[in-house]
Every structure is written in structure tokens, then in C-alpha cells.
Chain A
Amino acid sequence: MDKPYAITLDAGSSLANKTGAWRTNRPLYVDLLPPCNHACPAGENIQAWLYHAESGDYEAAWRALTQDNPLAAIMGRVCYHPCEGACNRGKLDEAVGINSVERFLGDEAIKRGWKFDAPPAATGKRVLIVGAGPSGLSAAYHLRRFGHHVRIVEAGPFPGGMMRFGIPKYRLPRDVLDAEIKRILDLGVELELDTKVTDILATMRAGKFDAAFLAVGAHIAKRAYIPAGEAAHMLDAVAVLRSMENEDKPMLGRRVVVYGGGNTALDVARTAKRLGASEAIIVYRRTREKMPAHDFEVEEALQEGVLIKWLSTIKNMANEGTLTVEKMALDEKGFPQPTGEFETLEADSLILALGQDVDLSLLEGVPGLAIKEGTVQVAPNMMTGYPGIFAGGDMVPSERTVTVGVGHGKKAARNIHAWLSGADYAPAPKHALATFEKLNPWYYSDAPKTVRPMLELARRTSTFDEVVSGLDETNALFEARRCLSCGNCFECDNCYGVCPDNAVIKLGPGKRFEFNLDYCKGCGICVSECPCGAIKMIPEVV
């Protein structure tokens, strides 16, 4: 080759110089556990479905969501969303409105008529589920998707359990409930209503079931001894909420007093308001800070005009409806103690909302069971002391929420499937938690949370219309796009862009990146500039 003047060597490329040899630390792509996923009682892969929602592919998002939880539209209304409490975005501005996006996806699925994929070929195994509440339905859904034959036996006249007989309509419209239950039943789940299982072993033998999942819930109202005149109108909250599903609504009168401090107490007080009570007063023996009910429910109830008497207990109820209430005071340990100070309260009816017990009668005669404080004890795999009988939901020790019940159903289904296959279910090891400190939040756009539009106060106190309405497409997309993708690469190209040595190889959409260790000098800029903490440095092994 003719060389220009004064040049004797061909120009060589610096690629001959493998600068990777300088390195003492190397970068490594990791996947961490997002705090939302970590906090979800139903084990949803929240970040994964938000990822699809961000690009506007709502069906893919809904399908990713329903891998873990078939009740998206219900969750989006009744879940207490611990995910949002854990969300790292809360440390930046406000948590991502995960729950409202979930509801949007659930509502889209109903609107567009999306169906679950057909179950695989039948395994020939038969599983009995007792109770068609959230836990039983969730278990049925997952077991059916494993290919097992599933039959749900339900004591009540409709499926749904506490979702129907405990949660008022203004929080969960029944058409939503029915649509999501129907979608599960459409997978080929058998449902037998109005049938109370009285002897679980006999029922299993008769139906040739290989395993059973019990999720009968907790429907028996706890009582407190309150001396009362014969004509005193005393009811329990579970019965009142249940009778709301009947033609004849309960007669509560104009002045209603509710005794208790849980979510049920608030639900029943708000229901009484909607039934026309001019006064709905909650009497609770401790303070607001100690109240087990969720804060937003207390807030909504107060806005609707529900009154709450803190630090008070009810001593007796006279025939004409006069309640004697004793004031309490907190002792140094924070427990309420009687003060001996009394006052009276007029009430047309007194509703007790003091918690619920489990009807365990179906388990009589089953050997090996452990019952403690009225609940069935289960192993970490959700199996009771009797092989092949699993239990979950409110009847086992738990927080007693819909979401926990759904999580139990999923977990039990996986373990039942493993048990039926003669194996142990071994969940995949969990990744390390993606804490806020691992992120580089500078890169995230500043965006406030969209406040869910609320029905006007006047309207929601007089009707049973839904209180909180949903997001529309634009603000659901906006919410989804506030997700930080904590701990998992979302292909922002930062590592690819910021490497001074071009040592990051971009593999293309959906394929992420890899390091070219021939040239990576181990400076670590990619680690510090990764917005979501999905890269870490590890020492080179010499």
C-alpha cells in the first residue's frame, strides 16, 4: 500500500489495547426485590405489571397482574395497599398510586371482556374448596390453572364471602364482584351454593377428593356482655352488613350507636348513615391512634358525619334505648382503664362490631388438628395437621384482609399442587430488597400523585354509589409512569451512555445490556448513574 509522506506504519486501532486488564472491581447487573412486591400480601409482581402499563399495553399488564391475583378490579377497590406504604417514590414526592392503576386495569379487563387463558390438560386430581370467599376463589383459580379439578362448596346463597356480606356496596359494587367471580368460574370451577360442609372428611370421601382447601372465613360475631332490657334493639355488625344483601334492609332507626373500632365498625356506621340515620356514633374504648381501622376509612367516615366517642365503653342498655357509657383513661402502659365517670347516650339501636370468630364445626373429628384462640394452625405450606387438608384466609391466624386471603389462596394452591405431585413446593429465593439508598433519584421526573376524584360528600352520604371513582386512561398511564422500577433494569440506556470506555453493549429492546470486560476499567460510573440500582460492583477475583 502506498503510504502518505512520513508514515511508515498502518494506523492501528486502540482496540488492540485491552484496558479491561486495569480493573480491580467489575460491574454486575442485578435484579432486586422492589419494596412494593415485597409488601404485597398477595405476592403480586407489581413492578412487572406497571412496566406494561407504562407503555400503554394494559392487557399485558392485566395478564401479568393476574398471574398472581385474579381479582384486579376488586383489589383496586378494597385492598389496603401496603405496597404504596412501602413505595420508594414516597420518599421522593408521593407513593405511586398502585392501587388505582390496579383498579383501572381490572375495570378495563371487565369492560373489554378479557378472559383467562384456558387451563392445561386435566391432571385427574380433585380438590375440594370450602368457602367461596377471596381465599377460596384465589385457590380455585390457581389450582385450575395447574389443571386440577376444582369444586367449591359454599354455605351461603352467593359466592364472594366477606367481599359480598361484609364489604358495603359503596366500596365494592356488586357488578364488579360478580364479573370477577364469573371469570374464575368460567375456567371450569364447579360451585355448589347453599351447602354447609358439616364433616370435612366425609365430604372428601364422598366426592373422592385428593385434597381440600378450607377457607370458611370468620362470620360469627363476637359478643360482649352488655346488660340490656328485653326490648333493647341490639344487633351485630356482621348480621347487619349481611342483611344489606337482602330485599329487606335492616331497621336501625334514626340514632345508631356502633360499638368497636375496627374497619367493620366504620363500615356499619357509614351504612347506617346511608340507610337514613341522622346520627351514627361509634363508641370505642381507646384512642384514634390505637384504632385498628385504617386511617383513610376513619377520615372518610368523619367526612360523612359519623361521630366517634373515643375512650368510652358501654355498660348497659335500657329498654327505651338509653345507653350508659363509662369514660376511660389510658394508663402509663397505654391501656384504657375505667374512670367511674358515666354519661348516657340515646340510641334506637346498638350494633356490636367487636370482631368475629370462626365456625370450626366442620373440623370436628379430624385428627391431628391444632386449634389456637379459635383459629386453625397451619404449617408454612398452609397445610393443617391433617395431611391433604389445607386452610387459609380468616380462619387461620392472619390480618384478615381480602388481600391476605387471596395470598393464602395462591400459596395454598401452589403447595397443594406440589403435595398432589408428591413434591415439596420450593419458592424461588428472594432477591435482596431494593432500598431507596440504592437508587439515584435525580433522574426521575418530578410528578405529583393524581388525586382520585371523589364523589361529592353530599352525594355519597345519601346513596350507596361508589365513594372513590377510578382513574381514566390518561391519568392511569401517568400514575404507572411514576414507577421508579426499583432494583430492576428498565432500559433507560444510562449505563450504555455514561461509560467513558464504550464497555457497555446494548443488546436491543427487551434484551437489556452486557459488559464488555475487555475494555471495562471498572470505574463504576454505570453503578452510580443507574437510576434504579440495578448494577453493583464486585471485586475481581485474582
Chain B
Amino acid sequence: MEAQIKFYQTGTFTVGNRLLAEDQRTVQADMHRTNSLNSGHRACQGCGEALGARYAIDAAMRATDNKLIAVNATGCLEVFSTPYPETSWQLPWIHSLFGNAAAVASGVAAAQRALGHKGVRVIAQGGDGGTTDIGFGCLSGMFERNDDVLYICYDNEAYMNTGVQRSSATPPAARTATTPAVGPHPGNVFGTGKNVPLIAMAHNIPYVATASVSNLRDLERKVTYAMSIEGARYIHIFVPCPLGWGSAPEDTIKVARLAVETGLYPLFEAHHGEITARTHIRHQVPVTEYLKLQKRFAHLFGKTPDHERIAMIQKMADHNIAKFGLLP
């Protein structure tokens, strides 16, 4: 972890800080940042994915001196950024299919090598649907071949573009179009889903990390590091979706921050299959603080709160805290 800069009013928690030297500030604080994802995109108000994508790609652009190609899976990010013939992307960018972003990126990387384009790096990116479900086979292949690609998954925990259907990244109890909040077990079923960062680690690839739009410095540091090494790399970024989660647009970062502070979304790094670092929780809060802001969990807080399910979610958070060592 980078050292906290003490006594500077907001230290390193805010995007910028006038008391820090230029080279200690974030990429996002730069007046001349790339704005890789430009204004005019059609993402909803308060879109966490649009924000996460700009954070990550701007950092990667700086790290590679703008020698970067992005491959995009189908999903919100592709649809809202590039309704032909307009695009918001300010870097070479290609979209092929929903499930093949990792494979296309492997090919782009091979092509750059074949053409002798030294130093041109490749990022593949997609949502949780295109990553954890539909693109999972191609992703696993890219990992096991150790292709020189950074794959970024922007996780908003469901298929938002098509109308909020459940994915294998949807958390338990969450209401989606396909897991309605009805019956004796409302919302998504407990004990389902998969943890792709841990699966990526099982491929023994050089670098796996989780990040969140609420922790900008942490995110930029992880992307910058990933671009400094070769081989298959995976970063999973937590991006709240106001539309799909039923949270207020202005609360996007707050919701993401609470996911980290409750322990529900652990921030960690792994090298070659071993966890090497975790980002500590700063002010621990109970999961209800996080759940209450989202209508997809509203059924837990009806006239009689669903204490049983809330306790099960708290247990998940406590388990993460213990497993990843999230308390300082």
C-alpha cells in the first residue's frame, strides 16, 4: 500500500490535493487527462461504469504513453459509448461480440507483435455478464495462455443493458428482472454465483486485483502497475448502477464506498495466485448501511425487516473481513 499522506486536510482521499506535488496527484486530477471516454456518452445519470472506465483507461493511457488499444465486449459500456457513427472513445477501440473480447484482445496483442509495434499494449474490457458468464471461456483461455492482455471487468452485478437480468455476479437477495422479490426466498438465491478474481488467481497469472470507483488512488495504482508488467492480468472494478440497483444517481460513489467499508467488496491484489496485499477498511459499518440505499434490497427492509437474510449478508461481509484481513 502506498503511504498515507498525513495532515494534508484530506490526505490522499480526495481526487486531488493542492498541497501535494504534481507527481503525487492522481491522473484524474490532471487538467490534461486523456478523458479516454469523452463527454456526450449515453450512460444514465450517475453511471458508475462510465466513471470506472474513464478512471481505468485514463490511468492505462498515462502508463503506456497513450500507446493503447481497447477491445470491448458487448454491454452497456459498448452501447452507451459507441452508437455508430459516434463514439466517446479517444483511443483505438474495437467491439466484436458479447463473449469473445478476451480472444479478440489476444489476437490484437499477437498482431501488434507480428507487426513489430513495440510498446503498444492491449486492454480487454466488459461488464460482469460479458466476463463472468458469456465471455468466461475465452477469458480462461487468455489466462491459461498468459497472453499479454489486461482484462478489466466492470462489475455492476447484473445484465443492465438488456433490462437488469441476473448474472453470476449478482449478489444474494438482490432483486433483478429474473430474480423477483417474491415468495419465501425473495431475490437472488443464496449460495449461487462465482468469484472471478479468485478463479483468475487459480490460473496463476502474474497479476489479479480488485478495485472500486470509490477508491480512485487504489484503482489508478493497480491499473498503472498492471500496465508495467507483461502477461495476462485481471482487474475487477466495482461500479454501482443507479438504474439496476435502484440507488440515487448522486449516491454512486457512496454506495461503492459502503461496499468496501462493510467488507462486502474486498479490495486486494494477488501475484501468481497468491494474495499479496489488501486495502484496509477505514471506518467499518454494518451491511444495512449499504443495503438500505438500494431498492434491489428494499424487500429486506419491509414492515418487518428480514433479519435472517440481513444477518446472512452480514455474515458474508464478516467472512470477507476475516478471510482477506480487511481490518487494520
Contacts and interface: CB of A to CB of B under 8 A. Distances in A.
A binds B: yes
A519 B43 CA distance: 11
Interface in B22-58: 25-26, 28-29, 31, 35, 37-48, 50-51, 54
Contacts, number: 164
B85 interface: yes
A9 B83 CA distance: 13
A12 interface: yes
Interface string B252-274: 11100100000000000000000
A501 B249 contact: no
Contact of B17 (A482, A492, A522): A492
A19 B41 contact: yes
Interface residues of A, number: 54
Interface string A459-502: 00000000000000000011001111100001111101111111
Nearest to B254: A528
A497 B26 contact: yes
- Considering residues A477, A491, A523, which has the most beta carbons from chain B within 10 angstroms of its beta carbon? A523
Contact of B40 (A14, A492, A527): A14
A124 interface: no
Given A445-B7, A519-B40, A481 B26 contact: no
Nearest to A483: B9
A114 to B, nearest CB: 23
Given A11-B85, A500-B54, A524 B15 contact: no
B13 interface: yes
Interface stretch (A38-46, A195-203, A328-336, A503-511): A503-511
B35 A502 contact: yes
A447 B14 contact: no
Given A14-B88, A447-B6, A502 B13 contact: no
A506 B31 contact: yes
Contacts of B87: 11-14
Contacts of A54: 9, 19
Nearest to A19: B40
Contact of B86 (A13, A485, A502): A13
Interface in B248-299: 248-254, 257, 283
A17 B28 contact: no
A10 interface: yes
B301 interface: no
Contacts of B253: 498, 525, 528-529
B41 A501 contact: yes
A500 to B, nearest CB: 4
B85 A9 contact: yes
A153 B41 CA distance: 72
Interface string A6-28: 00011111111111001000000
Contacts of B249: 523-525
- Considering residues B7, B14, B84, which has the most beta carbons from chain A within 10 angstroms of its beta carbon? B14
Contacts of B84: 9
A342 interface: no
Contacts of B325: none
A17 to B, nearest CB: 4
A425 interface: no
B16 interface: yes
Given A12-B87, A498-B51, A525-B252, A482 B9 contact: yes
Contacts of B14: 443, 492-494, 497, 531
Chain B: interface residue count, which band?
Answer: 35 or more
B10 interface: yes
A14 B46 contact: no
Contacts of B18: 55, 490-492, 509
Interface string A503-542: 1001011000000101101111101110100000000000
B8 interface: yes
Contacts of B46: 500, 521, 523-525
Contact of B38 (A15, A484, A494, A509): A15
A518 to B, nearest CB: 8
A444 interface: yes
B223 to A, nearest CB: 15
A496 B29 contact: yes
A54 B31 CA distance: 23
A225 interface: no
B31 A445 contact: no
Contacts of B19: 54-55, 481
Nearest to A508: B31
A490 B16 CA distance: 10
Contacts of A516: 39
B315 to A, nearest CB: 25
Interface string A241-252: 000000000000
Nearest to A501: B39
A492 B13 CA distance: 9
A69 to B, nearest CB: 24
* Shortest Cβ-Cβ A-B pairs, 10 listed: A493-B16, A497-B15, A524-B250, A14-B40, A523-B46, A492-B14, A523-B45, A519-B39, A445-B11, A523-B249
Contacts of A519: 39-40
A442 interface: yes
A17 B15 CA distance: 27
B15 A496 contact: yes
A16 B35 CA distance: 16
B325 to A, nearest CB: 20
Nearest to B26: A497
A219 B291 CA distance: 64
11 contacts: A14-B39, A14-B87, A54-B19, A444-B9, A444-B10, A444-B13, A492-B18, A500-B46, A516-B39, A524-B248, A531-B14
A522 B242 CA distance: 13
B13 A443 contact: yes
B81 interface: yes
Contacts of B54: 500, 502
Contact of A19 (B10, B25, B42, B216): B42
B40 A15 contact: yes
B304 interface: no
Nearest to B252: A525
A18 B13 contact: no
Contact of A14 (B16, B25, B38, B252): B38
Contact of B45 (A9, A15, A444, A522): A522
A40 B161 CA distance: 54
Contact of B250 (A12, A484, A492, A527): A527
Nearest to B41: A14
B228 interface: no
A438 to B, nearest CB: 14
B195 interface: no
Interface string B291-318: 0000000000000000000000000000
